Amino acid sequence: MERGIVAVNDLLATFVPTPLQMFRDAARAGLLTQCALYYGWTDLQANPVPDLTDEDRTGRMKVAGMKLFMDGAYSNRTAWTNDPYPNSTDHGMRALADETVREAVGGLGATASRSPSTPWATGP
């Protein structure tokens, strides 16, 4: 794969019913790119998958983790922040309650918290 894309992360692989199988089938058909799959937390709640095996977590096509949408993004002013966005009273959006975050991370005492104050770049 000279100067090509050699690896990708699919950060919401659960848009298809069997993502790992789909990517492994693609590899058998000739896909050379390595793929790390992240299952969506809300999708896993609706459609649980069996416990992952060592084989599921290794190789060129593997499940690498889980994706939680805790807030939005700075680029569209939906990231959940302590300070409001410039020229606004908006603090973004919080997508998950603390209880849901704790459940997703296995009760490790995690909480959803706002991003610290952000030094906003200003242009000329």
Q: Which two tokens stand for residue 50?
A: 């069996």
Number of domains in the chain: 2
Q: Which helix (H) or strand (E) holds 64?
A: strand 61-67
Quote the domain boundaries for residue 37.
1-67
Assigned domain for 50 exists: yes
Assigned domain for 121 exists: no
Assigned domain for 123 exists: no
Q: Are residues 20 and 56 in the same domain?
A: yes
14-71 per-position pLDDT tens digit: 888 889 999 999 999 999 999 999 998 888 888 888 888 999 999 999 999 888 888 8
Assigned domain for 34 exists: yes
**In this predicted structure, what is the pLDDT of residue 118?**
46
Average pLDDT, whole number, for the chain? Answer: 82
Assigned domain for 117 exists: no
Alpha helix positions (H), 1-124: 19-28, 41-46, 98-104
Closest CA to 27 of 11, 7, 50: 7
Measured CA to CA, the distance from residue 37 to residue 113 in angstroms comes to 26
Q: Are residues 2 and 63 in the same domain?
A: yes
Higher-scoring residue by pLDDT: 78, 120: 78
